[in-house]
Amino acid sequence: MSRRVSLVVPAFNEAPRMDLVLQCATESDLFSRIVVVDDGSTDGTAALAGEYPVQLLQHDRNLGKGAALQTGLHALHDPDVVVFLDADLTGLTPGHLELLIEPAIAEPKLGMITARFIEGRWIVDAQQRWFAILNGQRALTRRFLRILPDMSWSRFGVEVLMTRLARELDIPVKSVLWSGISHYTKEEKYGVLRGFGARLSMYWECLLAYGVYAPRVAGHLKALEDAGITKDGTLQR
């Protein structure tokens, strides 16, 4: 794969869980750049990331997933494809990554490819199926990257933002199936009560992003129009 493919991994207190993603990403030859964004962690996330050949960026306080992805994007120089991967995946192999990246390179008309987990844990698979708008593992092509608005306000609503924007702008999106993969749920990370509270607040942030999407992106869409960029991300003039 000769195109420049970059990876952004947002991480908030993921030291005990992020070895697999970093190992898999750094040992594959799929990425020309790998950026880990430590989102104000208070554990050993930064130290762990430092053990791998990645670029480490750090927020000095927690700003949320959307801001972490935005910080990662800022650090990249004109990539052809950007992959977003959560830090807490289990069962990830280079084959999964190839499945996600291949269409981003082979089908230039696509704007975004999302991965949906199957044949892993039923509860996670069900969430991935019924709340696919929230799925975190994505590849974005140049076509979509160039019209992406600032996402740093969106926290866990960042996937809602990307999905709605692609829909509104008629950017083609493809879904690939990732078999035998899962991740740590919030309840597993923080315990049942605290984890469930964190889950509710994540869903709240997603709903909020859905609600404020239109006013938040209106100015950006107008600017794209003024710049002569059409709905599908191509220049009119």
Ligand X SMILES: Nc1nc2c(ncn2[C@@H]2O[C@H](COP(=O)(O)OP(=O)(O)OP(=O)(O)O)[C@@H](O)[C@H]2O)c(=O)[nH]1
Pick between residue 68 and residue 181 the one whose CB is nearest to ligand X. Answer: 68
Neighbours of 198 (CB within 10 A): 16
Are 206 and 160 within 8 A, CB to CB? yes
| Cβ at position 135, least distance to ligand X in Å | 8
Pick between residue 88 and residue 205 the one whose CB is nearest to Mg ion. Answer: 88
| Cβ at position 185, least distance to ligand X in Å | 4
Q: Give the footprint of Mg ion on residues 78-97 (CB under 5 A).
A: 88
| Cβ at position 139, least distance to ligand X in Å | 16
- The interface partner of residue 138, options being Mg ion, ligand X, none and the CB cut-off 5 to 8 Å by kind, is none
Q: Which neighbouring-strand residues pair with 97?
A: none
Contact residues for 200 (Cβ-Cβ < 8 A; gap 6+)? none
**How distant, in Å, are the alpha carbons of 5, 104, 112, 172, 183 from that of 81?**
5, 7, 9, 15, 24
- The interface partner of residue 64, options being ligand X, Mg ion, none and the CB cut-off 5 to 8 Å by kind, is ligand X
Pick between residue 147 and residue 161 the one whose CB is nearest to ligand X. Answer: 161
Instruction: Name the region of 150 (left: φ>0; alpha: ψ -120 to 50; beta: rest).
Output: beta
| Cβ at position 111, least distance to ligand X in Å | 21
Pick between residue 166 and residue 206 the one whose CB is nearest to ligand X. Answer: 206
Residues 227 and 2: their CA atoms lie apart, in Å, by 30
Q: 29 in helix, strand or coil?
A: coil
| Cβ at position 164, least distance to ligand X in Å | 17
- The interface partner of residue 10, options being Mg ion, ligand X, none and the CB cut-off 5 to 8 Å by kind, is ligand X
Residue whose token pair is 């990830």: 92
Residue whose token pair is 């991967």: 85
Which of these, 182, 195, 190, 188, lies nearest to 137 by C-alpha position?
Answer: 182
| Cβ at position 105, least distance to ligand X in Å | 24
Instruction: List residues near ligand X by CB under 6 A.
Output: 10-12, 14, 39, 62, 64-65, 68, 86-88, 136, 183, 185-186, 199, 202
Pick between residue 16 and residue 219 the one whose CB is nearest to ligand X. Answer: 16
Binding site for Mg ion (CB under 5 A): 88, 183
